[in-house]
Every structure is written in C-alpha cells, then in structure tokens.
Structure 1
Amino acid sequence: MKVSIDYLIIPKDGEQQSGDAVFTRRIDGVDLFVVIDALGHGDRAAETSAVGLDALAESSPTASVSELIDLLHTRLRGTRGAAAMVCVCKDGKLEGCSVGNVELLSLGTRIPWVPSPGILGASLRRTRLFEVQLTPGDRLILLSDGVSPRIDPSALRGQNAKEACRTLMSKYRRPHDDATVMVADIEP
C-alpha cells in the first residue's frame, strides 16, 4: 500500500510564523508522518517546532514510534515544548502515538487511539501507542488544535488530499491559534 499525503499550515491571525510543523518521509516502503504543535505561537513556537523537525530528519529510518517519541521528548527539553502525533505506516499497518492535543480522525478503519498526557520536552510519563491494519481507501486526517475536530466527512467526498486540506482549513480553522491539517490517503 502507498500513503499519499498533503497538508496545509496557517499561522495564527496576525503572526508571520507558525509553531505548527509537519514532517514526512518515505524510505523503503515505510511512511513516517508527524504533526508537531509547539506551545504558543509565533517566532518562539516556530523555533521549538524547528528543533523537532531537525530531530526527526536526523532519526534512523528504522526507528520505532516509541523511539521517535523519546527522541522528540529529549531534543525538545529546554524549549517551550510541544504536542505531536507520530505515525509510521508499513505494509498497510499503522502504528502511532499522540502526546498532547494533536487529533487523528479516520474516514474508514476505526483507529483505537488515546492521547498520551504530557508535553514533549517537559513532562511525559507514559505513552499510549496504537496499532491498526489499514485498508485501501482509508483516509486519515491529522489536526493541530487550531482546527476543530468536529468535521462533517461528507464535505470531503470526491476531493483529493490537497482539496480536502483546503476545505477543512476553510471550514474548521480557529484563527486564534496556529492551524495544521494533514490528509493521508491509503492507496493500493
């Protein structure tokens, strides 16, 4: 199976930079996709997200979700901290973990995820990992807290990932915060 990903990031109204960030990587049939939401907004939040992006870029392509969460937690120490959703998809199996308030919605296969309480870089006690076998045609939607998770899936019918990102952002964005939407379509 292949994962087709698109995303859209918009800073808080009045800001030039966003504290939200996205990381994607495909190596040897393994897709890694992450949404990071640094605490706050603006320049300092963007600096925090950049630390997280650097850590992910330097990570091993074979790192597990748990190892990636630990890496982010370690590297974000001394920053303002962040929430994140880390997902790895290999052979149609999705593994992931959310720390804080980054949401995962699935249009298709039910995904039994529960966010892990805490802040990457500050306080993280126990992570809650999830694992599920995906089906071609599934659509995953990752949202920072700058976007309401109470979406109407029918509004996305017939839209590709890029169009779905724009629709979600235009209908559900909260302008008082940085906002990120990622759409990952599972293809055969």
Structure 2
Amino acid sequence: MRLSVAHQSRPKLGEVRNGDMALVRTEGSHTLLVVVDALGHGTAAAEVAAEARRCLERMPLDGGVEPLMDAVHAALRNGRGAAIMMGLFDGKTLQCGGVGNVELRARGTRVPVVPTPGILGQSMRSLRTVSAVLAPGDRLVLFSDGLSFRLDLETARKLPPNEACMLLMERYARPSDDATVMVADVEN
C-alpha cells in the first residue's frame, strides 16, 4: 500500500512568514508525515519550523517515531519550541505520536493517538505512541491548532487529498493563527 498525500499551509493573517510546517518524506518503504506548529508567529516561529524540517530531512526513517521525535526535541532545545504530530507509515502499519496541540484524525481504521502534553524543545512527558494497521480507503488528517478542532472529516470525505485540504482550510482555518492541514489517503 502507498499514501496519496497533499498539504496546505498559510501564515496568520497579516504575517508574511509561517510558523507552521508540513513535511512528507519517503525513504525506502517508509513515508513520514509531519505537521509542526512552532510557538508564536512570524519570522522567529518560521525559523523554528525550518529547524524542525532540517532535522527530520536528515534522520533515517527506519528507526520509528521515537528517535525522530527525540532528534527534533534536541534540535529545538533552548528555543521557543513547537507542537508536532508525526506519523510513520511502512506500507502496512502507521506508527504515530504527537506533542502539544496538533491533531491526527482518521477515517476508516481507528488510530487512537493522544498527543503528549508539553512543548517539543522545552519540556514534555514520555512520548505516547500508537500503531495501527491501515487499509485501502483509510484517510488520515493531520492539522495544527490554526484549524478549529471542530473540523469535520465528513465535509471532505469524497474529495481527493488536494481538494480536501483546500476545503478544510477554507472552512476551518482561523485568521488569528498560522494554519496547516495534511490529508493522506491509503491506496493499494
């Protein structure tokens, strides 16, 4: 199985730089899905998100979510920090975990992820991770708190990932915050 993924991100109304970031990276049979929400807005937050991206682009993907999260936590230490949601798909199983107020919701297979309280780069409890075997037709939606947590996956159920991202952003993004949404569909 493989993932068909799209994402959309935009800065807070009135800002030029975005403190949110989405990353999709494939290495061998692994696909990494990440949404980062750096604390605050503007240039300083954008630099934190860029540092998280640089860290995740150089890490091997075959070790699981925990070493990836530990590496980002170390890379962001002594800065303003970030919330993050991360999923690692190996073609069959999704392993995921998050820190702070970034969400992952699934349609189809249940993925009972509960983000770990804290701020990546500052303080957090032991990372909670979950794994779920995915099936064709499942949909994953990762999003920052720049979108309302009242987000309804059914509104975009029949749309392809890119159109679903646009609709979810249009309907649920808050103008007072940076906003990022990622939609990933599991396909044969």
Q: 5+ residue gaps in structure 2?
A: none
Alpha-carbon RMSD: 0.9
Deviations 1:37-79 (A, max 9, x none): 0000110000001110010011113232000010010000122
Aligned length: 188
- In the alignment, what sits opposite 2:52? 52
Residue aligning to 2:75: 75
1:171-182, aligned counterparts within 5 Å? 171-182=171-182
Counterpart mapping for 1:163-178 below 5 A: 163-178=163-178
1:110 equivalent in alignment to 2:110: yes
| 1:186 aligned partner | 186
Q: d(CA) in 1 for partners of 2:46 and 2:179?
A: 13
Cα distance in 2 between the residues matched to 1:171 and 1:158: 16
Quote the residue 2:141 is aligned against. 141
* TM-fit CA distance, 1:154: 2.9
For 2:56 and 2:111, the matched residues in 1 are separated by 24
Residue 27 of structure 1 and its aligned partner are, at CA, apart by 1.5
Q: Displacement, 1:153?
A: 2.8
3-state SS of paired residue (1:66): helix
SS at match of 1:104: strand
Match of 2:98 in 1: 98
Letter in 2 for 1:10: R
Runs of 4+ residues deviating >6 angstroms: none
Separation in structure 2 between the aligned mates of residue 116 and residue 7 of structure 1, nearest angstrom: 23
Question: How far apart are the structure 1 equivalents of 2:122 and 2:93?
Answer: 30
1:127 aligned counterpart, secondary structure:
coil
Structure-2 separation of matches of 1:62 and 1:152: 33
Q: CA deviation at 1:149?
A: 2.5
For residues 128 and 109 of structure 1, what CA distance do their matches in structure 2 show?
A: 19
Cα deviations across residues 151-186 of structure 1 (Å, max 9, x unaligned)?
233321321000000000000011100000000010
Q: Which amino acid aligns with 1:158?
A: K
How far did 1:91 drift?
Answer: 2.7
Which 10-residue stretch deviates more, 153-162 or 139-148? 153-162
Structure 1: gaps spanning 5 or more residues:
none
